[in-house]
Amino acid sequence: MLHRNVFLLLLLVVAATLRSRADDGYRLWLKYDRIADAAPRQQYQRAAQFIANPGTTPVLRAAAGELQRGLSGLLGQVVPVVAAAGSRTGGIVLRVDAKASANGQPLKPEGYHIFSEKQNLVITGRTDAAVLYGAFALLRQVQMRKALVGLNLTSNPRINFRLINHWDNQNGTVERGYAGSSIWQWYEMPERLDPRYTDYARANASIGINGVVINNVNASARYLTAEYIGKVAALAGVMRPYGIRVYMSVFWAAPKVLGGLPTADPLDPAVKQWWTAKSDEIYKAIPDFGGFLVKANSEGEPGPQDYNRNHADGANMLAQALGRHEGVVMWRAFVYKANSNGDRFKEAFEEFQPLDGKFDPKVLVQVKNGPIDFQAREPFHPLFGAMPKTPLVLEVQLTQEYLGFATHLVYLGPLIKECLEADTYAKGAGSTVAKVVDGTVDQHTLSAIAGVANIGSDRNWTGHPMGQANWYAFGRLAWDHTLSSKTIAEEWTNMTLTTQPAAERTIVDLMEKSRNIYVRYTTPLGLHHIMGESIHYGPQPWLAKAGRPDWTAIYYHKGDSLGLGFNRTATGSNALALYKPEVQKQWGNPQTCPLDYLLWFHHVGWKQPLSTGRTLWNELCTRYYTGADSVLWMQKQWAQVQPQVDPAIYTDVAARLQTQRKEALWWRDACVLYFQTLSRQPIPAPLVPPTRTLAEVKSLVTIYQLK
């Protein structure tokens, strides 16, 4: 034990030296820097004199190791790990108890309870993973300078499967990734496992993530080869001590590509046998494998419809191939066909809702938060509340595909909460998306939520330093969707940037308003999908020709000389009818529809007065201008916290805000100048017309699309 403590002391010295250098963002929110204020530090020192860990499992060792690492750093002194507390007091005791309860109620398998007992703090739960989550919760208390005396903290996850979906490819690229290449170095595995994988697992476990889909939904069959199963098994070994299971996205036609079969028909006996044998092969290498994620018959991907089968036929075959294994199948509902006269808004509903009740018990249907594709603001997807017999996975995007990539500061806590709190009225008022997803509305035993990763090989993981907050917010909401986005922003800011109260308030205010600011200067009043072709970057509202009609901008905004917006009422595509009557009432009348959703559901005249007292045209211009100007406010807010934020992080964010301001003006000018050609209205006073021409802003899109 002595040599171990000497080693830890050396680590503390090294850590102190590193802390004197610029913060490169690598540690994320797991920053265990010594607490400078002596009074709270001494309080914590009295409560954390030792860590008693009687268990020897990898997960319990990880929990004790994290506590030791965190507390030793925060308190500036080694906190030893012992096998048992004995008669000692003033320490932290880890305890796995199959009958653990709190306040008279049994804990869920991953739920934890932290309480005082015989002058020690006890972290308990029914499983090793529960104790691990409790350990991170206790560290969060200390990082945020909260009292430990009398602590009585209980928390149960509201959703079973809390997943990060990687869109990483085996060649190292990341589809819609803006933080460098993939973190997975496949060519080195299984012989070498990058230490970064362990830090990735620690970060996920700290926010309650318990599953990782390691590859892109546009999957390569290569992941199902023996070569790659061995690599994934090695990666699973890194994740396992942190309570994380690995999952794979699978290529539907793999039986043809790898197995040499003439078909991938899900009802063909040879295809069924191939998938059964492949599942057994995977589970032999990875006994706790999580299961399969499938994108089929969407955007050119093969699927069961190639053989006149439906999605349930495909999903059920895979579920049955899993057999006795515990894994699940998550079948994505992101499907749409090229139809210039249709409405992409409706297509997933029309394909999946009739299949409700026809899926195997091991199948969950994975649904994006909105009906189009991760826009800056979308109405909740109409499938939520419309498939009571099928557990639905909520899929949200953390990588900012339609949100300015890694150059725009956009905190996604409010966006995710907006969807979770939307009322579907599936079984009356209060049937929120959150309660549909967590299974309480329809009493499902399986529940899941997935976040498309914004993680890459950049040293700070997410490209934009503030993008880390979106990863953090997703995990915290996946664990407990009742948390407010503001509370989560406060936690992240305290743990990552500063504990100075005034600076924290300023940063949290900036974060909370950032998404609405982005919407105002890009897609106000319910505009959507008017960004740059293919790359999805910058404005291109004039786009009229693309590889398919629903990849153009005019398909969505329907702008003409009369007005703007997509009529989805009974006189238009009637997509509004997919929702319950109570929801239709909210959005069905253009006179009372909330302005944030107005152009999602209505084609509105340019001169039509709105509830603001302005015409549609004048309100559109006002929002574009005030949105772009609000980035100046963001810059000023950030400048105020410079003394309290690490200089390297401050400079990085400040520079990105300059880019954001430039591109907000680009969006403003491009959109008001283009829509002006349709409205034939002047820019309303006192707004100053753009100094550049429409041709000049159009040329910027061409430059960005050069290869």
Show Cβ contacts of residue 210 under 8 Å, excluding neighbours closer than 6 positions: 110, 129, 161, 162, 163, 243, 244, 245
Give tens-digit pLDDT for 638-655: 999 999 999 999 999 999
C-alpha dihedral sign at 258, 262, 266, 268: negative
pLDDT above 60 (res 17): no
Give tens-digit pLDDT for 214-243: 999 999 999 999 999 999 999 999 999 999
Show Cβ contacts of residue 346 under 8 Å, excluding neighbours closer than 6 positions: 371, 382, 573, 575, 578
Give the mean pLDDT of 173-189: 98
- Overall residue count recorded for the chain in this entry: 707
Give tens-digit pLDDT for 322-365: 999 999 999 999 999 877 678 999 999 999 999 999 999 999 99
Q: What is the dihedral of CA 464, 452, 441, 155, to 10 degrees?
A: -60
Alpha carbons 520 and 489: distance in angstroms, whole number: 21
Give the mean pLDDT of 120-129: 98
pLDDT above 80 (res 21): no
Q: What is the pLDDT of residue 337?
A: 81
Q: Which tokens sit at 229?
A: 């199963």
Which CATH number is correct for 2-155, 3.40.50.970, 3.40.190.10, 3.40.50.10320, 3.30.379.10? 3.30.379.10
pLDDT above 70 (res 695): yes
> Global pTM?
0.96
SS3 state at 609: strand
CB of 526 closer than 8 Å to CB of 600: yes
pLDDT above 80 (res 445): yes
Q: What is the pLDDT of residue 328?
A: 98
pLDDT above 60 (res 7): no
Alpha carbons 47 and 54: distance in angstroms, whole number: 19
Q: What value does the mean pLDDT of the chain take?
A: 95
Show Cβ contacts of residue 609 under 8 Å, excluding neighbours closer than 6 positions: 615
Give tens-digit pLDDT for 67-96: 999 999 999 999 999 999 999 999 999 999
CA distances 368 to 147, 448, 646, Å, are 39, 12, 36
pLDDT above 60 (res 20): no
Give tens-digit pLDDT for 446-462: 999 999 999 999 999 99
CB of 75 closer than 8 Å to CB of 44: yes
Q: What is the pLDDT of residue 707?
A: 45
Show Cβ contacts of residue 23 under 8 Å, excluding neighbours closer than 6 positions: 646, 648, 649
Q: What is the dihedral of CA 524, 530, 536, 537, to 10 degrees?
A: -60
Give tens-digit pLDDT for 574-600: 999 999 999 999 999 999 999 999 999
What share of the chain in percent tops pLDDT 90?
Answer: 94
In terms of Cα–Cα distance, which of 660, 683, 351 is closest to 522? Answer: 660
Show Cβ contacts of residue 193 under 8 Å, excluding neighbours closer than 6 positions: 234, 235, 237, 238
CB of 148 closer than 8 Å to CB of 123: no
Q: What is the dihedral of CA 424, 430, 432, 437, to 10 degrees?
A: -110
Alpha carbons 313 and 22: distance in angstroms, whole number: 55
Q: What is the pLDDT of residue 279?
A: 98
pLDDT above 90 (res 556): yes
CATH of domain 161-496: 3.20.20.80
Q: What is the pLDDT of residue 115?
A: 97
Q: Catalogue the active-site residues.
A: 299, 373, 401
Q: Report which secondary-structure segment, H or E, holds 155.
A: strand 153-155
Show Cβ contacts of residue 71 under 8 Å, excluding neighbours closer than 6 positions: 32, 44, 48, 51, 79, 92, 139, 142
Q: For the chain, which residues make up each domain, given as ranges?
A: 2-155, 161-496, 519-566+603-704
Give the mean pLDDT of 678-702: 95
In terms of Cα–Cα distance, which of 455, 378, 376 is closest to 410? Answer: 376
Give tens-digit pLDDT for 96-111: 999 999 989 999 999 9
pLDDT above 80 (res 8): no
Strand partners, 683: none
Alpha carbons 392 and 53: distance in angstroms, whole number: 38
Backbone dihedral region for residue 467 (phi beyond 0: left; psi -120 to 50: alpha; all else: beta): alpha
Q: Return the HEC string of 290-305.
A: CEEEECCCCCCCCCHH
Q: Which residue carries 């994620």 as its tokens?
A: 293
Show Cβ contacts of residue 21 under 8 Å, excluding neighbours closer than 6 positions: none
From the number of C-beta atoms within 10 Å of its C-beta (0-12, 13-18, 19+), residue 553 rates as buried
Which CATH number is correct for 519-566+603-704, 1.20.810.10, 3.30.750.24, 2.30.42.10, 3.90.1330.10? 3.90.1330.10
Give tens-digit pLDDT for 242-280: 999 999 999 999 999 999 999 999 999 999 999 999 999
Whether the domain at 2-155 and the domain at 519-566+603-704 fall into the same CATH topology: no
